[in-house]
């Protein structure tokens, strides 16, 4: 048994005090390591850099501890139980690491629990301790980690069957708002840290219940059996932040408090107020839906490359287009199928995704398979050139899932769909496999297996599709694919705007070029991302011009006009002549236009 304690020791200094005790340390000297990344967020983050001080003891005496590399240590051989004592600096307000102050705390095991090498597969127990002081008397614990001696939401001991399970249950501390609901027999909790005046928790629980039940039924249409015994949404509400990370029985989310529903005195009949695609609340529910779908797709149906994860180095896979793309497709679709949003709003969300994909010329240079493989150094490390160099396996992956769904439905006359593929993948790689309790034994979808699996399950020949759209960089033929389902894709051309084809952002009092799109007017004139725009044709550009991407400045000029642009690059003044172009921002619209024969395919697809 491996025994940890974690104590919020210095809230002002953001320090957790952690210990790990090994009953039978390795004879040659026990090694310990902290992961360099957290599964689900594909970037090396070097969590061990936050270990401030560390020492080892055994039977009350100090034991020499040697640092082996940037993330691991070795204790000298000892006969009795060995304990490491260390402090972790926790001040990363994201879902990926840990944070602690007088308001609340949060940690992922990957940031705080050193792995005991060679003993990962025995029982791991953690004692989560309350900070000292009356101010923290109302603090509670939110986690999906099973309790050992702790009460539900209480401080005390929690248990995991192995290290892999220990680090897949993030923990939130604080006097959070708590809501609960049952979805197909499984208790779901929503714990929200951060101040949210007049939070309408009841409404949030009603909407989340619909989404969760729809997803459970999606994967198990007969038994309605969820893969976890309990589920927890761990939410941090802030001024303006956004992020989520999936886990096997919980997810960690960060949102803007403005995205959460407000309690007000509504009549009972008005309680189901419609949600529109522009609402922050719609965005938040989409995030919840996304992370919840991962409970099946990536936490249980996995790439073979993640079974098990290499926690110390990059785990490469070319399949993130399936795990993130299909999840991105179903997240909003589940909002529609569960009745939380209507079709008009769903089509708006889908058209936004199409427009995001079409914005970047990087989609012609990088396939989603390559984008998946290089996530570690490209997608997760985007710079100003990203739109010109890479494609997102989220957004294009979403369109690939859509196109696969429509292709399979069309070619099989509605007999099969992507839903069937996901369900069979769940049965083979998730449900039936986990029933054998053999997680981590190398089971998962192999890099070269996806195409054959899709063909076999759907009965549709998909080699050409995989070559062109997944391993190749062709745009998806969405107009053709959507037509049989009664959806018209259009790109309105009236009143084209004049543009430099850049994206601008406010930078203090200035207007800065964030992206210069390839072959756009700014690129051809010689402007660079990072340039501070000073004047166009002698008229001053200010921070306000960043908001409309210079539209009001340029609206007086026809396309092909020549303008003089002054910028600062670094501290040097530079002057450029630019020929203005037609704005290349994509504006795809999706609309219903249904003949009788399309009504059935349309309703089956959208779950209407």
- In the complex, least distance from residue 303 CB atom to Zn ion, rounded to whole angstroms: 14
Given the rule CB under 5 A, which of 271-279, 280-288, 317-325, 479-487 is the region that contacts Zn ion?
A: 317-325
Burial zone of 383 (CB within 10 Å; 0-12 exposed, 13-18 middle, 19+ buried): exposed
Q: Centre a 10 Å sphere on the Cβ of residue 517 and count the other Cβ atoms it contains.
A: 22
Q: Which one, 177 or 208, has the nearer CB to Zn ion?
A: 208
Would you say 322 or 563 has its CB closer to Zn ion? 322
CA distance 1 to 126: 11
Structure tokens at 174: 């604080």
Q: Kindly write out the interface string for residues 324-343 of this chain, putting x where it contacts Zn ion by CB under 5 A and - elsewhere.
A: x-------------------
Instruction: Mark residues 268-307: x for contact with Zn ion by CB under 5 A, - for none.
Output: ----------------------------------------
Closest CA to 158 of 174, 180, 142: 142
SS3 for 386?
Answer: helix
C-beta closer to Zn ion: residue 324 or 332: 324
What separation, in Å, do the N-terminal and C-terminal C-alpha atoms of the chain show? 51
Question: Segment near Zn ion (CB under 5 A), from 98-106, 259-267, 321-329, 347-355?
Answer: 321-329
Contact between 482 and 489 under an 8 Å Cβ cutoff? The reply is: yes
Q: Which stretch binds Zn ion (CB under 5 A): 316-324, 334-342, 461-469, 553-561?
A: 316-324
- The number of CA neighbours under 13 Å toward the Cβ of 277 is 15
CA 528 to chain centre: 30
**Which burial class, exposed, middle or buried, applies to 184 when counting CB atoms under 10 A from its CB (0-12, 13-18, 19+)?**
middle
Residue of minimal Cβ distance to Zn ion: 324
Burial 419-446 (b: 16+ CB within 10 A, else e): bbbbbbbbeebbbebeeeeebbeebbbe
Residue 307 beta carbon to Zn ion: minimum distance, rounded to whole angstroms = 18
Q: Count residues binding Zn ion (CB under 5 A).
A: 1
Q: Could you give the CA distance from residue 409 to residue 450 in angstroms, rounded to a whole number?
A: 18
Q: Which of residues 35 and 39 has its CB atom nearest to Zn ion in the complex?
A: 39
If the CB atoms of residues 259 and 324 are measured against Zn ion, the closer one turns out to be 324
> Which is nearer to Zn ion, 165 or 291 (by Cβ)?
291
Residue 163 or residue 393: which is nearer to Zn ion going by CB? 393
Q: Which stretch binds Zn ion (CB under 5 A): 62-70, 318-326, 374-382, 464-472?
A: 318-326
Of 218, 495, 469, 259, nearest in space to 368 by CA: 469
Whose Cβ is closer to Zn ion: residue 220's or residue 324's? Answer: 324
Q: How far is the CB of 556 from Zn ion (least distance, A)?
A: 44
* Residue 40 C-beta: closest distance to Zn ion, Å: 7
**Region of 319-327, 416-424, 574-582, 596-604 interacting with Zn ion (CB under 5 A):** 319-327
Part of the chain binding Zn ion (CB under 5 A), chosen from 59-67, 143-151, 320-328, 440-448: 320-328
For 524, the 3-state DSSP assignment is helix
Closest distance between Zn ion and the C-beta of residue 294, in Å?
Answer: 6
Task: Compute the distance between CA of residue 181 and CA of residue 167 in angstroms, rounded to an integer.
Answer: 25
- Cα–Cα distance for residue pair 579/558, rounded to 1 Å: 10
Task: Select 397 or 486, whichever has its Cβ closest to Zn ion.
Answer: 397
CB of 426 to Zn ion, least distance (A): 16
Do 349 and 334 contact (CB within 8 A), yes or no?
no
Contacting residues toward Zn ion, per CB under 5 A: 324
């Amino acid at each position: 048994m491996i025994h940890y304690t974690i104590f919020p020791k210095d809230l002002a200094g953001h320090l957790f005090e952690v210990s790990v005790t090994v009953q039978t340390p390795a004879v040659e000297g026990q090694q310990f390591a902290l992961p360099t990344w957290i599964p689900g967020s594909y970037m090396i983050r070097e969590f061990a850099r936050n270990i401030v001080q560390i020492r080892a003891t055994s039977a009350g005496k100090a034991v020499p501890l040697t640092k082996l590399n940037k993330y691991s240590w070795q204790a000298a051989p000892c006969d009795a139980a060995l304990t490491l004592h260390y402090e972790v600096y926790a001040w990363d307000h994201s879902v990926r690491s840990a944070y602690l102050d007088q308001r609340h705390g949060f940690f992922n095991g990957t940031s705080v629990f050193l792995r005991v090498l060679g003993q990962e597969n025995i029982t791991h127990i953690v004692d989560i301790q309350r900070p000292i002081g009356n101010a923290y008397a109302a603090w509670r614990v939110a986690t999906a980690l099973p309790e050992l001696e702790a009460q539900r939401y209480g401080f005390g001991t929690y248990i995991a069957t192995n290290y892999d399970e220990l680090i897949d249950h993030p923990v939130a501390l604080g006097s959070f708002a708590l809501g609960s609901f049952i979805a197909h027999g499984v208790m779901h909790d929503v714990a929200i840290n951060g101040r949210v005046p007049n939070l309408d928790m009841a409404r949030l629980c009603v909407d989340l219940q619909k989404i969760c039940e729809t997803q459970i039924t999606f994967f198990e249409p007969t038994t309605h059996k969820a893969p976890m015994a309990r589920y927890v949404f761990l939410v941090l509400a802030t001024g303006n932040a956004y992020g989520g990370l999936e886990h096997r029985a919980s997810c960690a989310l960060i949102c803007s408090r403005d995205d959460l529903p407000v309690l007000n005195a509504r009549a009972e009949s008005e309680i189901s107020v419609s949600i529109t695609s522009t609402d922050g609340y719609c965005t938040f529910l989409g995030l919840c839906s996304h992370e919840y779908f991962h409970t099946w797709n990536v936490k249980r149906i996995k790439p073979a490359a993640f079974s098990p994860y290499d926690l110390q180095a990059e785990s490469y896979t070319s399949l993130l287009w399936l795990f993130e793309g299909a999840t991105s497709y179903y997240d909003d679709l589940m909002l529609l199928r569960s009745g939380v949003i209507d079709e008009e709003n769903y089509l708006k969300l889908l058209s936004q995704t199409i427009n995001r994909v079409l914005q970047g010329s990087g989609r012609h240079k990088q396939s989603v398979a390559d984008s998946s493989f290089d996530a570690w150094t490209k997608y997760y490390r985007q710079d100003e050139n990203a739109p010109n160099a890479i494609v997102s396996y989220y957004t294009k992956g979403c369109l690939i899932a859509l196109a696969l769904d429509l292709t399979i439905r069309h070619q099989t006359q509605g007999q099969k769909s992507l839903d069937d593929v996901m369900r069979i993948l769940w049965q083979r790689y998730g449900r039936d496999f986990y029933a054998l309790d053999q997680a981590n034994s190398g089971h998962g979808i192999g890099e070269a297996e996806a195409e054959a699996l899709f063909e076999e399950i759907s009965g549709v020949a998909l080699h050409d599709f995989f070559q062109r759209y997944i391993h190749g960089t062709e745009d998806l033929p969405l107009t053709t694919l959507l037509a049989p389902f009664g959806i018209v894709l259009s790109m309105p051309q009236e009143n084209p705007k004049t543009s430099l084809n850049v994206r601008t952002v406010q930078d203090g009092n200035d207007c800065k070029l964030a992206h210069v799109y390839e072959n756009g007017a700014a690129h051809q004139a010689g402007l660079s991302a990072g340039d501070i725009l000073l004047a166009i044709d002698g008229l001053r550009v200010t921070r306000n011009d960043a908001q409309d991407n210079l539209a009001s400045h340029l609206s007086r000029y026809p396309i092909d006009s020549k303008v003089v642009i002054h910028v600062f690059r670094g501290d040097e003044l530079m002057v450029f002549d630019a020929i203005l172009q037609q704005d290349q921002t994509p504006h795809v619209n999706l609309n219903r236009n249904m003949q009788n024969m399309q009504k059935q395919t349309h309703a089956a697809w959208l779950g209407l």
